[in-house]
Amino acid sequence: MFLPDTQSFSADITAEFARLYPAAWARQAIPADELALLAQAAMGNGNQFRRFLKRRLHGDPVAYILGHVTFAGRRFTMDRRAYVTDPETVHLVGAVRQWASPRQGPLYAAEVGVGAGALAITLLLEVPDLRITGLELDDAAAALCRENAAHHGVALDVVESDLFAAWGDRPAPDLIYGDLPWGDDTTLYGQDRDADHYHRMPPTTAFPLSGRTGAHQDLIMAVRDRGWAAHILLNCGTLPDGDIADVVAAARDMQARLLSPAATARILHLFPL
Ligand SMILES: C[S@@+](CC[C@H](N)C(=O)[O-])C[C@H]1O[C@@H](n2cnc3c(N)ncnc32)[C@H](O)[C@@H]1O
């Protein structure tokens, strides 16, 4: 069997690219772990690897080039229809799991902004007696989410909806969680994903329409309008205390607890008094 020597094959072509496109390379050299993933996906095909490198130098996110993202040890199909799930949101999954563990099932949760479904599908596979409705503003992302749910064999209820507008006559959820758009070009996770990375995503995904916590505050108002007494877990990522205080102020009739499982994973837990 022919096994390509991925390392020397990729090193030669990478050196060729650094020589051919010095300005682009200086702007954003492709890190070794990404090169390894792209080379592996090219499977020894030099033309394909060159295409991958050129797309990456143009700023195309790695997950769109590979056609998948790995989240919590599982592979999910990923393409331009959806936001590329941030690895840090594994802490939101952990927070939901912790919330669920002492409670008796069955439990019913709503994920607002379900995107390609990596969080909800992970939870359905890992938390017994949990049902989830995933709400998504963008029809194309909802379609990809359904494909991922079918691939992983989970019964995820996916609804095209602006917040809870299309909730219909489903019962009130016990928990509402999500990684809704938050922040702006200055509140990034780290240097591996600059603001441009987020501007490559579908327009509804990364940043709120109003302020750095506008989507969180809209969600809280929508929950209040429905009179639901649900717990709420919201990813606030790297947002500073002042922004989180704005969300807490919007949730005026709820208790608030800030979870910080990592410096880049600030998760706000709101619950009824
Ligand atoms: C940061 S992305 C997270 C996606 C997914 N949870 C993930 O982690 O891969 C935010 C998602 O919320 C969706 N969204 C934004 N505003 C929304 C709204 N008002 N109602 C429902 N979904 C919304 C976006 O389309 C996007 O898919």
What span, in angstroms and rounded, lies between the C-alpha atoms of 255 and 232?
Answer: 10
Percent of all residues in the chain with a pLDDT value above 70, rounded to a whole number: 97
pLDDT at 28: 80
CA of 121 to the centre of ligand 1 (A): 15
Residue from 79, 204, 219 whose mutation best tests the ligand 1 pocket (most atoms within 8 A of CB): 204
CATH class name, domain 87-271: alpha beta
Domain positions in the chain = 4-60, 87-271
Mutate to test the pocket of ligand 1, among 84, 114, 225 (most ligand atoms within 8 A of CB): 114
Which atom belonging to ligand 1 lies closest to the Cα atom of 71? 9
pLDDT, one tens digit per residue, over 57-95 is: 999 999 999 999 999 999 999 999 999 999 999 999 999
The pTM of the full predicted model, rounded to 2 decimals, is 0.95
Mean pLDDT over all residues of the chain? Answer: 95
pLDDT-derived band at 6 (thresholds 50, 70, 90) equals: low
The pLDDT tens digits for 246-271 are 999 999 989 999 999 999 999 999 99
> Does the beta carbon of 133 lie inside 6 Å of ligand 1?
no
Whether 135 lines ligand 1, by a CB cut-off of 6 Å, is: yes
- Tell me the pLDDT band of 29, cut-offs 50, 70 and 90: confident
The predicted-structure confidence for 142-159, as pLDDT tens digits, reads as follows: 999 999 999 999 999 999
> Is residue 1's pLDDT more than 50?
no
- Binding site membership of 113 for ligand 1 (Cβ less than 6 Å): yes
Mean pLDDT, residues 17-40 taken together: 93
How much distance in Å is there from the Cα of 106 to the middle of ligand 1? 25
pLDDT for 105 equals 80
